A = this chain, B = another copy of it.
Amino acid sequence: MELFTGIQKFNEPLYLESGRILEPYQLAYESYGKLNADKSNAIIVFHALTGSHHAAGRYENDTKSGWWDPLIGDEKVLDTTKYFVICINVLGSCFGSSSPMENGDKEPLRLKFPVITISDMVKAQMRLLKHLGIQKAYAIIGGSMGGMQALCMAIEYPNFSDRVICIASTYATQPWAIAFNRLAMEGIINDPRFKNGHYDTEDFAQEGLLGFAIGRMAGHISFLSPISMDKKFGRNYVETDGLYELFGRFQVERYMQYNGNSFAKRFDPLSYLYIIKAMNIFDATRNYDSLEDSLAHIQAKLTLISFKEDKLFRPYEMKEIKDTMSNIGKSNLVSFVCIDSDYGHDAFLVEYDKFDFYIKKALEEKARDGK
């Protein structure tokens, strides 16, 4: 599999929904496989909150492969012998694209960085895709916040792709998810070491912000489900801790601590604040009178995949997209499936074998029908 990684700089201004302007700005991205002669084989993969453009493959010295490696590669579902798969780091994220701490040669903007919306992310990505000569994608696909981008692109650039696959996502973030994000925000901004955004990043190499770690622990709860926790941890106790020690831990507690603390060392807290904000304010209906009006723009075939125990973006929310499409006479353009998984929201990063069939099906239909 041919892997390319790079950063593309843009000098033309990017007008943001907020009224702010980014100029210049840059996007980090990776691609897998080869763009064909007529540039018709590109599949755009959108990453989630803490993901990056490193969706597949493995660099030397890395402990892990890219976040969707089981799906992207030669002979895999997103088959890089056929498709040119590309993943772009979203604006605001901390892996190379313009963000609170990434301002090219200039001082980082930190809290003066503008609030970014999902629509802004997609607009910036379209620039890069056009720059690469991709006028039309073979398919676009994403899970969680990646699904928001896919849906947003389907609405705002209806001719860009005939196939849109949206996984474990929503058309508008609901209060349960917003509430969890609030915990992270409170944890970060109230940690004295955050210094109102004027921290020195190197201070976090040994120990990340504890408040950020706590916020991330909250995130881990929201990504799982009560049932998946039962199965994963039960009431097992940490072998060296005692039940009657106040700070003794169940295994679920150790898991949270470990993941929260290690995450806080490797992700930028300002980027986290900006990305959760983008997710919170995502609402595909905002610039329209209703969800009907918004979805009426969609020309692509839309595959919606949700997971039964996902509490963050409930199957119910995805089904509303399907039902609304049907109500406006577009039932031929939409399919919805709710996968029986105990994993909760995390399923889109774990139980590949339960949903990869639907991705495959969408791509095969496109090959067969030409759209």
Contacts and interface: CB of A to CB of B under 8 A. Distances in A.
Interface in A182-234: 182-183, 185-187, 189-190, 192, 210-211, 213-214, 217-218, 220-221, 224-226, 229-230, 232-234
Contacts of A210: 186, 190
Contacts of A114: 244
Nearest to A280: B250
Dominant SS among interface residues on chain A: helix
Interface stretch (A150-158, A173-181, A349-357): A173-181
Contacts of A273: 246
Given A175-B230, A175-B252, A185-B247, 11 more contacts: A18-B244, A115-B245, A174-B226, A176-B226, A176-B230, A178-B253, A190-B211, A211-B211, A226-B314, A244-B281, A250-B280
A224 B19 CA distance: 36
Contacts of A283: 235
Contacts of A218: 183, 218
A17 interface: yes
Given A218-B183, A226-B314, A246 B211 contact: no
Contacts of A19: 244
Interface string A105-121: 00000010011000000
Contacts of A311: 226, 311
Contact of A217 (B115, B186, B211, B224): B186
A274 interface: yes
